[in-house]
Amino acid sequence: MKNVLMVCLGNICRSPMAEGILRAKAKERNIAISTDSAGTSSWHQGEKADARARETMRSKGIAIDDLRSRPFSPEDFDLFDYIFVMDRKNFADIFDLAKTEAHKQKIKLYLEESSATKVKEVPDPYYGEDDGFEVVYELLVEATHRFLDRI
Min dist CB 128 to ligand 4NP, Å, is: 10
Min dist CB 117 to ligand 4NP, Å, is: 18
Nearer to ligand 4NP, 32 or 51 (CB): 51
Whether 13 is catalytic: no
Whether 14 is catalytic: yes
Closest CB to ligand 4NP: residue number: 10
Nearer to ligand 4NP, 121 or 124 (CB): 124
d(CA 105, CA 128): 32
User: What is the contact surface with ligand 4NP in residues (CB under 6 A)?
Assistant: 8-14, 43, 124, 126
Min dist CB 27 to ligand 4NP, Å, is: 23
Packing angle, helices 131-150 and 14-28, rounded to 10: 40
Which residue in 54, 78, 124, 149 is the catalytic one? 124
In whole angstroms, how far apart are CA 80 and each of 38, 52, 58, 74, 120? 12, 28, 27, 11, 22
- Residue 112 near residue 77, CB atoms below 8 Å: no
Residue from 112, 108, 99, 103 nearest 139 by CA? 112
Which residue in 13, 14, 52, 93 is the catalytic one? 14
Min dist CB 126 to ligand 4NP, Å, is: 4
- Residue 115 near residue 139, CB atoms below 8 Å: yes
Nearer to ligand 4NP, 98 or 123 (CB): 123
Residue from 112, 126, 1 nearest 36 by CA? 1
**Residues noted as catalytic:** 8, 14, 124
